[in-house]
């Protein structure tokens, strides 16, 4: 049996094309365009890259994009004041603060300060609660939503399947549990979540029809841990040494790709799998926020 490669680059491209089309339509019919504000506190090089690519994608899709770079020593109050200014700006529909923030910043207070109607990362407890109870009126968290869209657009139906998630973070594992277990089309899975205190993780993954690895450990999931034909979604992004490359390193996922691909039914690569979906869903959330702000029912 040959493995199917789930192409996150191609699927995110489709999602982005649709977003651009809906954005142009919104501008034509209602004279508004989505606005996103990304705040970066400090000068962490990886964060600069992430923030830069979010701004670039927003502009490509026809959004207004505001990038706010604050010094490393920014006080909590100054950051909260910036968020309050953006909350009050009717031209900004989505606000996000790039993580990690410097030590003096309380990330929980930052999340609570963002207007839930502009919380396009879906980190605010109001939106997380809506997600859990299956209220589709809120936002969906970008990376887990990206995983659901990858499955859906690859014709993989989780209904009645056993999905095993590795990792229970607030950003990936927990919200993905909520999405996969919902009583709704495209979900309806039976879900197991494993974490660092789970003994014998392979005992669970070997039973799984769908395995999602999101733990941040390079090549953790090996072929002997999956059953033949399983769908394997790799959320992990890990930099490992590779003297054969110019930079001396490269990115790999949480899955031992070559050996798992030889046994799986479908698999996402790293890079080019879940990664591009995250930004695509962030942009879709920002479009949704803009549509809702003018009373247009989002698609
Ligand atoms: N593609 C994307 O857009 C995207 C987005 C977000 C994250 N990521 C990547 O996904 C990975 C996970 O990110 P995250 O933010 O969820 O990480 P995180 O907050 O560090 O959480 C890691 C989770 O994995 C569990 N874990 C760690 N080591 C384990 C082990 N040896 N066995 C079993 N469970 C283990 C932890 O368990 P405990 O809870 O018990 O500590 C925790 O629940 C990272 O590589 C990250 O870069 C990618």
Are residues 256 and 160 part of one domain?
yes
**237 CB less than 6 Å from ligand 1?**
yes
Q: Just list the catalytic residues.
A: 54, 98, 121
Choice between 161 and 46, residue whose per-residue pLDDT is larger: 161
DSSP string for residues in 106-165: -HHHHHHHS-GGG-TT--SHHHHHHHHHT-TTS---HHHHHHHHHHHHTT---TT-EEEE
Instruction: Examine residue 290 and state whether it is found in any structural domain, yes or no.
Output: no
89 pLDDT exceeds 80?
yes
Q: Whose CA is nearest to atom 32 of ligand 1?
A: 196
Confidence of residue 1 (pLDDT cuts 50, 70, 90): low
**168 Cα to the center of ligand 1, angstroms:** 7
CA separation (Å) from 128 to 50, 178, 268? 23, 9, 26
| Rounded Cα distance, 61 and 95, in Å | 17
- Give the ligand 1 atom nearest the CA of 274: 1
The pairing of strands 238-241 and 249-252 is antiparallel
In a domain, 85, yes or no: yes
State how far the Cα of 53 lies from the Cα of 58, in Å rounded to an integer: 8
The answer to whether residue 147 sits within a structural domain is yes
Question: Same domain for 266 and 146?
Answer: yes
Q: Give 262 Cα–ligand 1 centroid separation in angstroms.
A: 24
Is the pLDDT confidence value at 298 over 90? no
pTM of the prediction?
0.97
Distances (CA, A) of 172 to 71, 91, 167, 274: 28, 29, 8, 11
Is the pLDDT assigned to residue 297 strictly greater than 90? no
Contacts of 185 (CB under 8 A, 6+ apart): none
Residue 149 sits in the same domain as residue 264: yes
Q: Which own/partner pairs from 169-175 qualify as long-range (CB within 8 Å, at least 24 positions apart)? A: 169/214, 170/123, 170/128, 171/123, 171/141, 171/143, 172/143, 172/144, 172/214, 172/235, 173/214, 175/122, 175/128, 175/131, 175/140, 175/141, 175/144
Pairing of strands 94-97, 64-70: unpaired
Cis peptide before 187 (omega within 30 of 0): no
Helix (H) or strand (E) holding 285: helix 275-293
Q: Is residue 165 included in any domain, yes or no? A: yes
Q: Tell me the C-alpha distance between 51 and 259, whole Å.
A: 34
Residue 109 sits in the same domain as residue 176: no
> Based on the domain organization, do 76 and 169 belong to the same domain?
no
Residue 297 lies in a domain: no
CA distances from 38 to 65, 100, 115, 224 (A): 8, 13, 14, 42
Considering the domain boundaries, does residue 43 fall inside one? yes
Same domain, 153 and 261: yes
The CATH number of the domain holding residue 268 is 3.40.50.720
Residue 13 pLDDT greater than 70, yes or no: yes
C-alpha distances out from residue 298 to 87, 112, 284, 291, Å: 21, 24, 10, 6
196 lines ligand 1 (CB under 6 A): yes
Q: Are residues 249 and 157 in the same domain?
A: yes
Question: Which of these three, 82, 116, 150, is where a domain ends?
Answer: 116
Residues 139, 141, 143, 147, Cα dihedral to 10°: -70
The predicted-structure confidence for 166-200, as pLDDT tens digits, reads as follows 999 999 999 999 999 999 999 999 999 999 999 99
Average pLDDT, the chain: 97
How many structural domains comprise the chain? 2
C-alpha 70/C-alpha 55 separation (Å) is 16
Give the position, in ligand 1's atom list, of the atom nearest the Cα of 238: 45
Kindly state whether residues 44 and 150 are assigned to the same domain.
no
Domain span including residue 224: 142-275
Q: In terms of domains, do 170 and 259 share one?
A: yes
pLDDT tens by residue, 103-121: 999 999 999 999 999 999 9
Q: Are residues 83 and 49 in the same domain?
A: yes
Average pLDDT over residues 159-168: 98
| Letter string b/e over residues 3-14, b meaning 16 or more CB atoms within 10 A of that residue's CB | bebbbbeebbee
How far apart are the CA of 167 and the centre of ligand 1, in A? 5
């Amino acid at each position: 049996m040959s493995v199917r490669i789930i192409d996150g680059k191609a699927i995110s491209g489709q999602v982005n094309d649709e977003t651009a089309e809906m954005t142009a339509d919104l501008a034509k019919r209602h004279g508004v365009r989505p606005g996103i504000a990304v705040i970066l506190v400090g000068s962490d090089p990886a964060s600069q890259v992430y923030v830069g690519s979010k701004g670039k994608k927003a502009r490509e899709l026809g959004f207004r994009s505001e990038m706010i770079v604050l010094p490393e020593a920014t006080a909590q109050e100054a950051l909260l004041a910036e968020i309050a200014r953006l909350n009050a700006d009717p031209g900004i529909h989505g606000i996000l603060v790039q993580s990690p923030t410097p030590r003096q910043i309380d990330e929980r207070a930052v999340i609570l300060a963002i207007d839930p109607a502009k919380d396009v990362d879906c980190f605010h407890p109001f939106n997380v609660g809506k997600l859990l109870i299956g209220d589709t009126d809120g936002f969906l968290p970008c990376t887990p939503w990206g995983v659901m869209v990858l499955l859906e657009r690859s014709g993989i139906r989780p209904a009645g399947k056993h999905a095993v998630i590795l990792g229970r973070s607030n950003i990936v594992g927990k919200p993905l549990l909520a999405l996969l277990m919902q009583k709704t089309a495209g979900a309806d899975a039976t879900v197991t979540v494993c974490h660092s205190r789970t003994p014998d993780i392979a005992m669970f993954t070997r039973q799984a029809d769908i395995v999602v690895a999101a733990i941040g450990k390079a090549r953790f999931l090996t072929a002997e841990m999956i059953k033949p034909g399983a769908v394997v979604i790799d959320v992990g992004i890990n930099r490992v040494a590779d003297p054969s490359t110019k930079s001396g390193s490269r990115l790999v996922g949480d899955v031992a790709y070559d050996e798992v691909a030889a046994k799986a039914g479908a698999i996402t690569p790293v890079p080019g799998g879940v990664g591009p979906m995250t930004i695509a869903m962030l942009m879709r959330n920002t479009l949704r926020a803009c549509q809702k702000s003018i009373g247009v029912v989002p698609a």
